[in-house]
Structure 1
C-alpha cells in the first residue's frame, strides 16, 4: 500500500511548500535579506499574525508582499479545507485502517494470497472467506479494494506481478497463491514471480485460453483452471442433470452454514491411524460423511469406502460437511 495520504492532501502540502520557497527566495533577491529573515517574514505574512515587518520594505518588496498575501491566503485555505476533509470524511480512518492491516498481514503464516480482479476474483474471495481461511488479497481494482477494506479483509492495492508486492503479502510464508486476473498474460507474470520467490508454494491460476495451460505449468503453476470450460460444462449439466446441479447449488449456497466437499490428511501421530472407518467413528464424532479416500501409496481414489477400510498415514479423506465439522476432523487427524 504505497499511497498513505490522499492525492488532494499531497497537492495541498506541495502548494504550501512551493509558496514558502517563492516567498523566501523573493525576499532574499529583492530585499537582500538573510535566509532566516526571509523565511520568517514569509511565514508571518502567510499566517497573517500581524507581527510587523522584519525590516523596512522597499516599494518592490511591498508589491511582492501583496502578491504573497493574496496567493498565500488561497493556498492556506486549500490546505485547511483538505486537512479537515481528510479528518472528517473518513480518509484519516482509512489510513489508520490500512496501517493496522499492514501489521496484520506481516503476522500471517500459512495463509493464502489471492491476486484478483473482476467477478471471478470476487467469487474466489467469497469462498475463502466462507470457509474461514486466512487470506491476503492483492488487486489493482479500486472498488474491490475499498469493499474488502470495509469488511476488514487484508488487502493490498498494488500490482501483484511485482516482487516487492508479493513479499509484502507474505509470499515466503504463505501456504498457497491463487491468481484470477482477467488476462492470461497478467496471470502468467504472477505465477512466474511467485514461483521465483517461493519454490514450495502451491499455485493455482485461472486461464482463459486452453492453449496457455502448458505455459502456466512450465512457469510453475500446480493447477490451471479453465474457467470457460467449467462454465460450459455447468451450463450443459443444468440441462442434462438438473437434479444433480440443483443439489450442488443447495449444498453450496444454502442459508446458514454452507456444506462443502473438503479434504483432510491422516497424520503419522493421529489416533485414527491403522483404525478402520467403523472403529474411527468419524461420522458420529464430527457429523461428516466420508465419500472417498485417496490412498497415499497408490494415489488411487476409493469411492464410498467400506466400513472395514483401514486408515493409513498419508491417506486423504474426502468428506462433505461444514467448516466447523471439518475443524473437528482435522483435530482428530
Structure 2
C-alpha cells in the first residue's frame, strides 16, 4: 500500500466505491453495435481518399485530408487546388461512397431510436450511479398509498430511500410523488437488489397489500444478506390481520405494522386521552422535534454492565433519561430508579434530544469507561 493511500486511510479520506452493482454498459454497448459498420466505413473512406489525393494529384497530407473531408461530406466547397481528370473521377467516386455511407448511417440511427431504448437506458444508468452513492438508506418495495405517505415522512426527516416497483410508468409515478430514487424491477429479484444497492442499505420495507408478495420479499432479502455475509438488514412489513403479522415475524420480519390495528389504537388513544395524542404528535412525529426516543442494546463487553444507572451520568451529563429497561429474558422495568443495575444484553429506552442520545449511544458502546466520567 502506498504512503498516500495509507495516509488517506488513517485520516478517513478514502473514497467509497460509488459504481452501481448492476452494470448497464454491456446492454448499452449491444444497442450501439449497429453503428460499428458506418464508423468503420467512414474511417476507411477517409483513409482511401487521403491516400488517393496524395498519389493522384500530389497533395500535401493536410490538403488531402481537407479535400477528402469536404468531398466525402458533399458540402460543396469546391477544389482547394487544381485536380487532374483522374483526380476528378476519383472525387466523383468518393462522393458516391460518402453519400451511400451517410444514407446507411441515417437509416441505422433512425432504426435504433425507433426500435431501441437507448435514452431510457442512459437515464436508468444515471439513476443507478446516484443510488450507488447512498449509504444506510432504506429500500421500499411496492408502490402504493402507504409508500407515498412513508416517502413523504422520510423526506421530512431527511432519511434516504429507494422505491422499487415493476410498473412501466415508474418514471411518471416518481415525478408525481417526488421519489428522488427509484428502480423499475420485480421486487424480489436479485436484479432489483443490485440496482437498489441493498448491500449498503440499512433496511428493507415491503408494503404490498398482498401478503404473498411480502412473504416472498422477506425470504428473498434474508437469503440475499446471507449470500453477502453482512449484518442482518432491518426488515419492516405490513399485514392486514394478526395472523399474517405473526407469520411475517416468524419468516424473518423485524417489525410488522397492521394498519387496521394501528388505526384502532390511535383512534382509541385520541378518544381516551386526546391531550396525550397531541403530545405524541408534537414531540415524536414532527421532523423538527426537540425530543427523541430510542432503544439501545447494552452488549456484554460494555463498561456499563453491572453498574447502576446513576454511575453512567446520562441525565446530568447528556440530558438523557432512561424511562424503561427490557432485560434479556424479556422482563420490562418501567421508570427504573437511579440504583437500578444495568445487566448485559438488556435494552435501555432513552428519551432526550437527538444529540444527547447519539452521545449516550457512543459512551454505552465503549468497552472502557470514558475518562471524563
> 2:213 matched to 1:186?
yes
Residue of structure 2 in register with 1:98 after alignment: 127
Aligned pair partner of 2:341 in 296, 310, 315: 310
- How far is the alpha carbon of 1:193 from its aligned partner? 1.1
Count of residues in Structure 1 that have an aligned counterpart in Structure 2: 290
RMSD (Å) for aligned C-alpha atoms: 4.8
Aligned pair partner of 2:163 in 138, 157, 165: 138
Task: Output the TM-score relative to the length of structure 1.
Answer: 0.66
Residue of structure 1 in register with 2:362 after alignment: 331
The aligned runs of 1:235-250 (5 Å cut-off) are 235-250=267-282
Residue of structure 1 in register with 2:307 after alignment: 275
Distance across 2 between alignment mates of 1:315 and 1:131: 28
Distance across 2 between alignment mates of 1:218 and 1:266: 25
Distance 1:99 1:175, change over 3 A: closer
- How far is the alpha carbon of 1:128 from its aligned partner? 5.4
Aligned pair partner of 2:141 in 107, 115, 135: 115
SS of residue matched to 1:54: helix
Distance 1:127 1:306, change over 3 A: farther
- Gapped regions of structure 2 (runs ≥ 5): 1-19, 50-68, 78-90, 114-118, 227-231, 365-373
Distance across 1 between alignment mates of 2:95 and 2:158: 72
Asked whether the equivalents of residues 293 and 301 of structure 1 are also in contact (C-alpha less than 8 Å), the reply is yes
- How far is the alpha carbon of 1:93 from its aligned partner? 11
- How far is the alpha carbon of 1:204 from its aligned partner? 2.0
Give the stretch that moved more between structures: 269-278 or 301-310.
269-278
- How far is the alpha carbon of 1:268 from its aligned partner? 3.4
- Per-residue CA deviations over 1:280-323 (Å, capped at 9, x if unaligned) read 22112222222111112x21110111111011222211122232
Task: Output the TM-score relative to the length of structure 2.
Answer: 0.59
- How far is the alpha carbon of 1:175 from its aligned partner? 4.8
- Per-residue CA deviations over 1:224-244 (Å, capped at 9, x if unaligned) read 221222123212322222111
Distance across 2 between alignment mates of 1:203 and 1:265: 18
Distance across 2 between alignment mates of 1:221 and 1:255: 26
SS of residue matched to 1:273: coil
Distance across 1 between alignment mates of 2:299 and 2:158: 22
- How far is the alpha carbon of 1:188 from its aligned partner? 2.5
- How far is the alpha carbon of 1:270 from its aligned partner? 3.2
- How far is the alpha carbon of 1:206 from its aligned partner? 1.1
